[in-house]
């Protein structure tokens, strides 16, 4: 039975009257020879036996997949499938209502179900937003480092990206931002709601307020990335949406980081773009399970999400402490790291000039995958940085892996 499952997963093949055999490594399209660094990271992360230190999967420590699927089965009995059920192209009303209630903080900063749009995944809803805001050829300003999925999506859509580096204290350079807004035709500014990822840092409240005041005066669209908004170790912090005009604000996020891979949907919140967003979601015709969406909504309404987040934050913080202690002990003379305030990753900088791509390639030979910092920029920033995950599954010797990283850093030193 176990071999049959492995065969379905493509890990082994059967020979009649002989048995099961593992596929030779050479037949799995062994990655690493191409020039696309991101493709190489993705491909190697999917190889069997790899220690994947490049990932960003907070829910790996504890997901809600099992409770979600159990609730879904219960709802299937309550809501038998109707052959002519009414379509909800912007997402299931119950889930949109739950999200609107969660984001509402006051009568002024109030959201309604009609302001919420749910798509198949984060990429899908961002593609719609790019179309609605006519961003092809337009200029967008983003924090840097920035999630590589978002950067690649903007690049593929021919968006002109300006990167504003996050400062050591986690804030943005107010004067530099003022200069860019005054000299560049910025159509949209993307900021993190709380945590800047992959740094895991938080901007000081006074910096956040000053940035918000500047953005209000400029009048550009503001896109708030809330994918990690629930994953700060101290969750009750000031968000940009608490400070900005809701009529110039768009929020996007998803469920996968907190629930797990069984909830891959992405969503947007926007007040002023209602007509065009509804049209675009209707044209896209996402095929989403209404029962799965109802189940997610029930996890919010019955308080299960909040209970889960309390546990997940504690687990993430414990893992962060373990990882940072190991890094300090093993690599304190080679790497400087930003103390994470949340999330599942650590952002590090080499204290010596090194070829981080070379470090990456050396570690692949030892079945270890890291994420070079250059992936988080389109303009050649962060070439001396790397991102490491502190959430793993499987039996791996983390201390030995960090020893390999230290060896690779020394061997690839440019000094």
Task: Give 174-184 pLDDT, tens digit per residue.
Answer: 999 999 999 99
Domain count across the chain? 3
pLDDT-derived band at 386, boundaries 50, 70, 90: very high
Round to whole Å and give the CA distance between 115 and 271. Answer: 5
Among residues 88, 63, 72, the alpha carbon closest in space to that of 294 is found at 72
Residue 228 and residue 134 share a domain: yes
pLDDT of residue 287: 86
pLDDT of residue 29: 44
pLDDT of residue 30: 45
Question: For residue 231, is it within any domain?
Answer: yes
pLDDT of residue 235: 80
Question: For residue 407, is it within any domain?
Answer: yes
Q: Which residue has the tokens 């020979």?
A: 15
Question: For residue 189, is it within any domain?
Answer: yes
Round to whole Å and give the CA distance between 266 and 246. Answer: 20
Q: How far is CA 166 from CA 39, 197, 199, in A?
A: 26, 10, 9
- CATH number of the domain residue 147 falls in: 3.40.640.10
- Last residue of some domain: 271, 302, 333? 302
Tell me which DSSP letter residue 413 carries.
B
pLDDT of residue 329: 96
pTM of the model: 0.90
| Per-residue exposure over 58-76, b if at least 16 CB sit within 10 Å of its own CB, e if not | bbbbebbeebbeebbeebe
Residue 290 and residue 392 share a domain: no
Contact 224, 241 (CB under 8 A): yes
Task: Give 15-55 pLDDT, tens digit per residue.
Answer: 655 666 665 543 344 444 558 999 999 999 999 889 999 99
Contact 120, 265 (CB under 8 A): yes
Residue 385: which H helix or E strand, with range? strand 385-389
Residue 337 and residue 209 share a domain: no
- Last residue of some domain: 251, 281, 302? 302
Range of the structural domain that residue 108 is part of = 86-302
Residue 211 and residue 146 share a domain: yes
Q: How far is CA 147 from CA 123, 142, 387, in A?
A: 12, 10, 11
pLDDT of residue 396: 77
pLDDT-derived band at 167, boundaries 50, 70, 90: very high
* Contacts with 122 (C-beta within 8 Å, 6 or more apart), sequence order: 149, 227, 252, 253, 254, 256, 266
Question: For residue 234, is it within any domain?
Answer: yes
Residue 156 and residue 122 share a domain: yes
Question: For residue 136, is it within any domain?
Answer: yes
Residue 139 and residue 231 share a domain: yes
Residue 110, phi-psi category: left (phi > 0), alpha (psi -120 to 50), beta (remainder):
beta
Mean pLDDT for the chain overall: 91
Question: For residue 77, is it within any domain?
Answer: no
- Last residue of some domain: 302, 335, 350? 302
Question: For residue 268, is it within any domain?
Answer: yes
| Per-residue exposure over 153-167, b if at least 16 CB sit within 10 Å of its own CB, e if not | bbeebebbbebbebe
Residue 326 and residue 260 share a domain: no
pLDDT at 369 over 80: yes
Alpha-carbon dihedral angle through residues 96, 97, 103, 105, given to the nearest 10 degrees? 160
Residue 312 and residue 277 share a domain: no
pLDDT of residue 82: 60
Round to whole Å and give the CA distance between 225 and 263. Answer: 18
Question: For residue 169, is it within any domain?
Answer: yes
pLDDT at 137 over 90: yes
Residue 247 and residue 312 share a domain: no
Round to whole Å and give the CA distance between 329 and 409. Answer: 16
Task: Give 309-333 pLDDT, tens digit per residue.
Answer: 999 999 999 999 999 999 999 999 9
Q: What is the DSSP string of 121-186?
A: SHHHHHHHHHHHTT-TT-EEEEEES--HHHHHHHHHTT-EEEEEEBPTTS-B-HHHHHHHHHHS-E
- CATH number of the domain residue 319 falls in: 3.90.1150.10
Residue 272 and residue 241 share a domain: yes
Residue 313 and residue 262 share a domain: no
Residue 254 and residue 388 share a domain: no
């Amino acid at each position: 039975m176990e071999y049959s499952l492995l065969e379905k997963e493509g890990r082994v093949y059967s020979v009649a009257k002989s048995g099961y055999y593992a596929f030779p490594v050479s037949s799995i399209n062994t990655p690493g020879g191409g020039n696309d660094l991101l493709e190489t990271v993705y491909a190697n992360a999917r190889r069997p036996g790899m220690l994947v230190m490049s990932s960003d999967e907070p829910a790996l420590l504890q997901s809600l997949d099992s409770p979600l699927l159990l609730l879904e089965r219960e709802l299937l009995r309550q809501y038998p499938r109707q052959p002519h059920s009414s379509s909800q192209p912007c997402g299931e009303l119950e889930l949109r209502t739950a999200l609107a209630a969660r984001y509402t903080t006051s009568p002024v900063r109030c959201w309604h179900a009609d302001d919420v749009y749910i798509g198949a995944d984060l990429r899908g809803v961002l593609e719609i937003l790019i179309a609605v805001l006519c961003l092809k050829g337009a200029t967008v300003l983003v924090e840097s480092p920035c999630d590589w999925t978002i950067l690649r999506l903007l690049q593929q859509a021919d968006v002109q990206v300006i990167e504003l580096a996050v400062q050591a204290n986690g804030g943005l350079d107010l004067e530099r931002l003022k200069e860019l807004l005054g000299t560049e035709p910025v159509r949209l500014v993307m900021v993190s709601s709380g945590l800047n990822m992959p740094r895991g840092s938080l901007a000081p409240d006074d910096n956040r307020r000053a940035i918000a005041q500047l953005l209000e005066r400029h009048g550009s669209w503001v896109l708030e990335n809330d994918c990690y908004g629930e994953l700060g170790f101290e969750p009750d912090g000031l968000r940009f949406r608490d400070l900005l005009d809701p009529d110039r604000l768009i929020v996007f996020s998803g469920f996968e980081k907190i629930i797990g891979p069984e909830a891959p949907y992405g969503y947007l919140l926007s007040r002023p773009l209602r007509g065009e967003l509804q049209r675009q979601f209707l044209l896209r015709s996402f095929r989403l399970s209404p029962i799965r969406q109802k189940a997610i909504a029930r996890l919010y309404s019955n308080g299960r999400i909040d209970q889960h987040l309390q546990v997940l934050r504690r687990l993430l913080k414990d893992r962060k402490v373990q990882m940072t202690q190991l890094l300090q002990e093993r690599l304190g003379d080679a790497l400087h790291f930003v103390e994470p305030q949340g999330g599942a990753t650590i952002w590090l900088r080499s204290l010596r000039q090194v070829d981080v791509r070379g470090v990456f390639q050396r570690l692949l030979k030892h079945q270890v995958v890291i994420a070079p910092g250059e992936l988080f920029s389109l303009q050649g920033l962060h070439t001396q940085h790397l991102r490491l995950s502190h959430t793993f599954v499987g039996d791996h010797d983390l201390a030995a892996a960090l020893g390999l990283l230290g060896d690779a850093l020394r061997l690839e030193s440019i000094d």
